[in-house]
Structure 1
Amino acid sequence: MLQIAFIRENQEKVIHALAKRNMDATSVVEEVVKLDERRRATQVELDGILSESNKLSKDIGEMMKAGEKSKAAILKEKTVSLKEKSKGLAEIADVIAQELLEKLYTLPNLPADIVPEGKTPEENINVFEEGAIPVLHEGAQPHWELVKKYDIIDFELGVKIAGAGFPVYKGKGARLQRALINYFLDKNTAAGYNEVQVPHVVNEASAYGTGQLPDKEGQMYHDAADDLYLIPTAEVPVTNMFRDVILSENELPVLTTAYTPCFRREAGSYGAHVRGLNRLHQFDKVEIVRVEHPDNSYKALDAMVEHIKEILNELKLPYRILRLCGGDMGFTSALTYDFEVFSTAQDRWLEISSVSNFETFQANRLKLRFKDKDGKNQLAHTLNGSSLALPRVLAGILENYQTADGIVIPEVLRPYCGFDIID
């Protein structure tokens, strides 16, 4: 969430920055500023009444000591009136504060200066590309055919049990899935990330804290009876570990990694581009999350990018990195890099990771702060990235490593799998 003081003092800058997201924020910014003015004016009036009421209470005490009961009685009547007025003003202030908060929730994060302008994914900038695209044998197939051929993932069985988008992994498919999870976690912990296991459901406060609510409410599975949400990513519970926390400056940075299943309704997703593992309602992902000092967050973002590059280089998958344009960035992000693996059998790029710096946007919602050297509380910066999302990595491995004799396992994964080929 954007800080109200920043909006108030930089209205034109906020409007101009959000235009990069193809959003005309003029009316919302004006409403936010007006609500803030009303809130502050109401608070000033309320503080004045409370101050007067406190003074009268002291005067009443002194009069009672002096035996001036009749004068004290008159002042008591006045304090009753002031209490009623202060109660009414407090209620008005609460209503205005809630209206202001709801308006602030509608404003996305400001894009960083280097975010390119653009409306569609086609306008993202390719900043890095690595790996040779393999030449496949004649008769090579996309992964949704391969998994049937080798009986390692059963999409139809998943439909029977739950519905479309909930596959069942079998035999070597399940073992390869587990191998990827363990490999990713080992890489992350070796890089200094502390592994945690977190709940797979979160409460409303947590979903608001990281920005899933109200922006992505329709994309989340919701249990109305307990008012809990199935997590769309480990980012939500992991980042919320630091909600309402004040760290000391010497505790920064905080590096955390977690494996979780992820649940997304993905309403309205149809067509060949979401076939097989390309788009699921439940999938596995290993996440990395960082809490950083504002002065270091962009260096940290670069380090996260390099970390994921190392993983993909070890997997020997052809990939590219895109700097997302303003119109394609997520609601909470200030800067995002997407990693995409090339699927030779599908002849297309598949997104496998997003790495983002949120600056203070999430921290402001979370009230995640650190105490600086002067003893002042400052908002931290939060970052997160997929390291990595499994379905499309798995699709890339199955398709790019297929041979006429079977699917060869990347060398780095063989100690985790216990086998060299799926045949």
Structure 2
Amino acid sequence: MQISKSVKMLSSLLVVCSIVACSDKAPLEAVPVDTGSTVIDAKYIDIKDAHFKPPVFTEIELDIGVPAAAVWGATGRDNDGRIYFGLSTYKGIHDTAFLAQYDPATGISTAQSDTLTQLKRARLYVDGMSQNKLHSKFFMAEDGYLYFSSFDETGETSTRNPIYGGNLWRKLPDDENWEHLLASDEALIAVNVHGRYVYALGYWDHVLYQYDTITQRSTKLSIGSVPGHISRNFLVNRKGHVFVPRVEQLANGESSTVLVEISPSMAISDLHPMNDYLNKGNFGSHGIVAYTNMKNGDAYFIAASGGLYHIVETATGGHELKYLGKFEGQYENSYIASLFSPDGESLLVGLGRNQETDGYFWYIRELSTQVTVNYPVDTIPKKDYLLYGSITTDDEGNMYIVGRDARNRSRHRPVIIKASYTQ
């Protein structure tokens, strides 16, 4: 359905086990960040009439000369507004993954090395090693470093970890070289940060790692997941509480999902039931596929099922998980590739697809009424473009949506789309 003028303006408009018992490393020296203790993961702008229509979609070409195949949701920004993309490849072909920095102000893109080069530099490389996925998002922590993770896919099955596991990295924005922080048996697919702590989620079994940037020590906690399932994302709120889904198989063959809440001490503090999580269609069960943080500390996220959830901080300091139904009720079996809140208060927007239609749709949800509307996007072909989650915005409020372009069947390439609102 289209947006009517009346809708347009709506309301006026876990046992914790230490994997590093001790460390010979000296504590890190904190690197000052120009913005103080603020970690910027999204830039909010005022709502205008244009936000009630689809944005302008522009493809960005990264002129860095690397043989990448896709950007699987691996985006992020630093506090100066520069955008980062993790460029994955296919195992057995290149076996490495590349990092690119993009400056929206100048349009200049810069290559910032790759996983195998950095593993060799850290003297961790062995012959035949693969680390072809930079899949996590990039977060700039309070120490001024960007944190992210990589992983291998060689030899993995639904119950066996990949041969070369995963790695946690950090780098300064203008430094081509990376610092290796942690190696894991699990593939580290997602990263998040809060204060001194960096978190990484690995598969299988939804293993959560916490890395302390001050002590350089790590702990891990197995949250639990059925064989073969991994959530593409997890959340950390402004209180430093981590939210990771746990999927269990019941005796009757059905599955049960709860959102596990973990405190900064890596103890399970609460369990929140989730009744709409696994995708029963043919888009795959990717867990939490998109999320966005709000100005007041709340968070919204969408599961692969299309179910929309709201994490609310209660008056007593706890948290409540509210299920708000399908993000898009008209097309119930929708996969929402990205989620943004332009102002961090009143609107949720995103790009999605569904089984009933041929192309992508731009979704707009007004939070005071919970009314969702959609517009078809004819310029983005669903058949050839596979787009994954992003939460990244630049200083002008432009949103970045990424994935794979499969129009050339012999050589897939990354697709990066900038979504901009007209002035």
Name the TM tier (shorter chain). Answer: under 0.3
Higher RCO structure (Cα 8 Å, ≥6 apart): 1
| TM-score, normalised relative to structure 2 | 0.23
| TM-score, normalised relative to structure 1 | 0.23
Structure ranking higher in helix proportion: 1
Q: Which has the larger radius of gyration?
A: 1
Structure ranking higher in strand proportion: 2
